[in-house]
A and B are shown apart, each in its own frame.
Chain A
């Protein structure tokens, strides 16, 4: 499927469109992971601004995306959760625990930059670790 993905430096910005069915969302996940692997990206911004509903399946799938990306050595940050959607999510108990979140693209990029700086400085302070 066509997945809207932009490259931003060593990061990727992937946009989740509204009204994706479960099958669409799983295809999105699989396409995105392939892209991450191919591009050796260091981080992914998952933009859910267009999602007008985040239900249990969407929430679980997005968390799985973050886990899968982490397995490939990259960070994920979710941006663009709308206030009304956030409110509904916490009513359902969908807290996206363990997944980083930020307000918008700018914040998301700043987050990934900081994370990547921290990772680089850790490496430089620990010589000899591969």
Chain B
């Protein structure tokens, strides 16, 4: 975004992470005057802003007191950015604010909305103040607008990034819950793999299994793939890697649940089934594991 003008203000990048605004002398003076005005009329302008927020029915998830408290912080950060030209404090504040309000159900359009309202409230007050001096008003707006737009951008982007981070965290948590590593006997772990295995999930499965091997001091792991939705080269590779990594921790693996079709797929892909210990079904796999561990499998006599 670029403003061509005579006061020599540099182009402001759309990326909030870029460097602070470089200013020329007259711009600095104008901004100083602007900041002075905003500070002087703080109470009034903040009140105007809050009532416009309420009018627009934004931040309905928050109480009046909360809105007022956040409005105060945003206002002061806003003015601070105009004064110093550095955005770090604002970015940090935007992240903190987002962390607080996202769990409350505040949405992106609300956050963008309130910042734009503040921009408007402040712009209007500048119009009012400098209406007699059109030329000066223009110069003040030339100084104000790029900064105000970048502030809106920074806050909005900060909010969206925080939201996306939260969503990813939740997805990760869901994946953790849905991939249990089960200890069924001493030194024996079972990893049932169910559903679709994307690379991230495969990664998580392997990491959980390896941590489980260490925690439980497992010597044998039974990896059951009966429930795997689709076996392709990627999934096969993950499986092989899991078996290899388990061995590095001293655990041998038994892969169960291979249908003849899946076995054929693996062979076609180039997996050396001779190197992998495979058993048809989970029960058979567990029995084999018990034999490996030295348990005696005893048939109990039928109750008469």
Q: Does B247 sit within 8 A of A, measured CB to CB?
A: yes
Once bound together, how far apart are the Cα atoms of A79 and B245, in whole Å?
A: 13
* Distance in Å: Cβ of B183 to nearest Cβ of chain A: 15
Structural contact, A103 and B217, CB atoms closer than 8 A: yes
Q: What separation, in Å, do the CA atoms of A73 and B248 have in the docked complex?
A: 23
Whether A86 lies near B217 (C-beta < 8 A) is: no
Q: A99 CA to B245 CA in the complex, in Å? A: 13
Contacts of A101 in B (CB 8 A): 247-250
Known: A83-B207, A103-B217. A89 touches B250 (CB 8 A): no
Q: In the complex, what distance in Å separates the CA atom of A96 from the CA atom of B250?
A: 12
A104 to B218, CA, bound (A): 11
> In the complex, what distance in Å separates the CA atom of A103 from the CA atom of B219?
8
- Measured CB to CB, the residues of B under 8 A from A are 206-207, 210-211, 213-214, 217, 219, 241, 244-251
Pairwise interchain contact A81-B249, C-beta atoms closer than 8 A: yes
Please give, as numbers and ranges, the residues of chain B lying within 8 Å of A103 by CB-CB distance: 213-214, 217, 219, 249-251
Contact, CB under 8 Å: B217 / A89: no
Contact of A86 with B250 at beta-carbon distance under 8 Å, contacts A91-B241, A103-B213, A103-B217 already known: no
Bound: A81/B211 CA distance, A: 12
Q: Report the interface size class on chain A.
A: 10 to 19
Q: Which 4 A-B pairs have the closest CB atoms?
A: A83-B210, A102-B250, A103-B250, A86-B248
Query: Could you say which of A78, A79, A83, A96 has the most chain B C-beta atoms within 10 Å of its C-beta?
Result: A83
B43 to chain A, nearest CB (A): 55
Question: Distance (Å) between the CB of A99 and the closest chain B CB?
Answer: 10
Query: Chain A residue with minimal CB distance to B214?
Result: A83
CA distance A102 to B247 in the complex (A): 8
17 residue pairs from A and B, CB less than 8 Å apart:
A81-B249, A83-B213, A86-B245, A86-B246, A86-B248, A89-B248, A95-B247, A96-B248, A101-B247, A101-B249, A101-B250, A103-B217, A103-B219, A103-B250, A104-B250, A107-B217, A107-B250
Query: Which residues of chain A are near B217, meaning CB under 8 Å?
Result: 103-104, 107
Say whether A35 faces chain B, with CB atoms less than 8 Å apart.
no
| Chain A nearest CB, measured from B62 CB (Å) | 42
* Extra inter-chain contacts (4) besides given A101-B248, A101-B249, A104-B250, CB under 8 Å: A81-B249, A95-B244, A102-B250, A103-B249
The answer to the question of A23 belonging to the interface, with a C-beta cut-off of 8 Å to chain B, is no
CA distance A78 to B250 in the complex (A): 9
Interface string of A71-101 (1 = CB under 8 A from B): 0000000110101101101110001100001
CB-CB nearest in chain A for B217: A103
Whether B250 pairs with A87 at a CB distance below 8 angstroms is no
Task: Give chain B residues whose Cβ lies under 8 Å from the Cβ of A95.
Answer: 244, 247-248
**Bound-complex Cα distance A103 to B251 (A):** 8
CA–CA, A83 and B213, complex, Å: 9
Instruction: Indicate whether A86 sits within 8 Å of B210 (C-beta atoms), given known contacts A91-B241, A95-B244, A103-B217.
Output: yes
Q: Which residues of B contact A78 (CB under 8 A)?
A: 248
Residue of A nearest to B206 (CB): A87
Contact A90 B244 (CB under 8 A): yes
Across-interface contacts of B251 in A (CB, < 8 A) = 103
Q: How far is the CA of A10 from the CA of B207 in the complex (A)?
A: 36
Instruction: Return chain B residues, CB-CB under 8 Å to A89.
Output: 245, 248
Q: Is the CB of B249 within 8 A of A90?
A: no
Instruction: Give a binary string over A42-82; 1 marks a CB under 8 Å from any B CB, 0 the rest.
Output: 00000000000000000000000000000000000011010
- Indicate if the CB atoms of B249 and A83 lie closer than 8 Å: yes
Shortest distance between the CB of A48 and any CB in chain B (Å): 10
Instruction: Say yes or no: A79-B207 contact (C-beta < 8 A), given A86-B245, A90-B244.
Output: no
A101 and B251 CA atoms in complex are apart in Å by 8
In the assembled complex, the CB of B176 is this many whole angstroms from the nearest CB of chain A, namely 15
Q: Do B213 and A87 touch across chains, with their CB atoms under 8 A apart?
A: no
Shortest Cβ distance from residue B237 to the other chain A in the assembled complex, whole angstroms: 10
